[in-house]
Amino acid sequence: GPYCTQMLGDHGAEIIKIEPPRGDETRDWGPPFHDEDSAYFLGVNRNKRSMGLDLSKPDGQAVLLRLLEKADVVIENFRPDVMQRLGIDYDTLAEINPRLIMLSISGFGANNTDSRRAAYAPIIHAETGLVARQAEVTGAFPAELPLSVADTNAAMHGLIGLLAVLYARQQSGRGDHVE
C-alpha cells in the first residue's frame, strides 16, 4: 500500500493517507529522523496528506465514508477479513460511490488457508526463500534483505491492476475491486 500510493502521488494523484490516531508506526523507524519522523516514513509518504482516524469507531468510519463519496480509489493492505469486519468492505463502499475502485493488497491472498496471517516483507522474503538464497550467495548468516522486494513487487502489480481497472471504468462508468 505505501509504495503503491507513493507512486501514484509521485505522478500527481491527490493522496490522503489514513493513519490510526496514534500515528503510523513507521514514523518511529529510524534513525535517521527529520523533524521527529523517520527518513523511511518521509520517503514512502511523500506527496501525501495524512489524517488520523480510528476506523473501529463509528465517528472514524463516518469521516472515511464522507471522504470516499467523491474518491476515485481506495487502497488498503489489511488482512482480507479486516475491511469486512469493520463494515467498510468494497460492497458497502460501492453503494456510497459506484465509481469507486478498491485495491486490496495482502501478503497471502484472499482465499486460502494462509490469507488471515499478517504479512510483512521479511516474512515473505523468508518464506519464498529469498533470505536463504541471499545467505547461500554471500556465504553470510541468513539475514533480512537490504531492500523490500516483497513490498515493491506487490506495489507494482497492484498498481498495474489498479490502472487497468481505471481504464475499464472509462468504458463502464462503474468501479471494481482488485485483489
Residues catalogued as catalytic: 151
- The β-bridge relationship of strands 33-34 and 37-38 is antiparallel
Residue owning grid cell 482480507: 80
Q: Show Cβ contacts of residue 55 under 8 Å, excluding neighbours closer than 6 positions.
A: 18, 20, 61, 64, 86, 88
Contact 87, 61 (CB under 8 A): yes
